[in-house]
Amino acid sequence: MSASASASRITPARAHRLLRDGRAVLIDVREEGEFAAGHAPGAVHLPLSAWIDGSAGLPAGREPVLICRSGNRSRQAAELLAARGVSVPDVVGGMREWAALGLPVVNARGVAGTVR
């Protein structure tokens, strides 16, 4: 991660490649019910509300990539981090675009999920 005033936006396909290659961890900033209904396999759930109140911390190790349903909340989280001097990319189009591209979505039970 680099210190920067802004963060980049990446496509779902790029995020998927980074995850598949073990270079990134996907951080889903949606609320619990949304995440439980359908998320990318291996995603870490840290809702935007935790970013706003300052209780969320980035997982150590792989590069973080932020995602939400449409790209709005993940962009907000990226901007909050940028204000703290940390540049983290977010996924443009969010889980809606991820699912539209046919990328995997699982629910809390680990079977096919839906994006809501």
Active site residues per annotation: 68
Report which of 70, 67, 77, 8 is spatially closest to residue 39, judged by C-alpha positions.
Answer: 67
Contact between 62 and 88 under an 8 Å Cβ cutoff? The reply is no
Helix (H/G/I), strand (E/B), else coil: 90 = strand
Written as six digits, the tokens of 59 are 């997982």
Name, in order, each residue with C-beta under 8 angstroms of 96's C-beta and a sequence gap of 6 or more. Answer: 69, 70, 115
CA dihedral over 91, 93, 96, 101, signed as positive or negative: negative
